[in-house]
Amino acid sequence: MTEETPGFEEKPDVPSGATPDDAEPQAASEEGAAPAGDASENAGLVAQLDQVRTALSERTADLQRLQAEYQNYRRRVERDRVAVKEVAVANLLSELLPVLDDVGRAREHGELVGGFKSVAESLETTVAKLGLQQFGKEGEPFDPTIHEALMHSYAPDVTETTCVAILQPGYRIGERTIRPARVAVAEPQPGAQTVKPAEDAAEGQDSSGAEDDAGTKESGGPDEG
């Protein structure tokens, strides 16, 4: 069993040619270099984080733009689909209008009876479900946007151009007119509005003259003369 030599103390390794006082500044310099390295590493991480945030913002903007374009595309497709459907239905119903005219004439002459009546009513119900609407009535004002005048006459009992007979009813789908109503129209008699004011003026003159005569008699002017 060995005995330690009293008074012997271990000392840190010191390079040859260096004194113990030189070892202390070297250790202090190593301790000061460590925080500088951490700062540079943190700066690099911050720069990378900024790049990631910038890339994320750009990708988010691209995604939002693509989503908006997709929504616009869906709306255009839906609008075009509805328009194509309306055109197809309008073309089909246009081919059925002569049949509906025959049904209407048969109803007017009392020939819509029996099985023919059931078929005609089923046809009218079906086209009504597809959105077909009939318009055109006698006595309504003439509108060139929805009426087609086939006959023209004058009448003393109208104050404006009026539909006096419906030769063929008009049909529409929603706001789309498939066929205008073919009508006979009547206009006011020419000069009827000019003669009436002249008569009113004559009546006004007669009444004013009568009032003047009455006033003269009441004043007693001629008797005094």
In tens, the pLDDT along 16-33 reads 555 555 555 554 455 555
Range 90-103 average pLDDT: 93
C-alpha dist (Å) from residue 37 to 29, 50, 179: 13, 20, 87
C-alpha dist (Å) from residue 4 to 9, 26, 61, 158: 10, 31, 77, 142
C-alpha dist (Å) from residue 88 to 74, 84, 179: 21, 6, 15
Looking at residue 22, its pLDDT comes to 53
Which position has the higher pLDDT, 193 or 145? 145
Q: Lowest-confidence range among 36-50, 57-71, 205-219? A: 205-219
Round to whole Å and give the CA distance between 92 and 101: 15
Report pLDDT digits (tens) over 43-53: 888 888 889 99
Q: Is the pLDDT score of 171 beyond 80? A: yes
Which position has the higher pLDDT, 185 or 22? 185
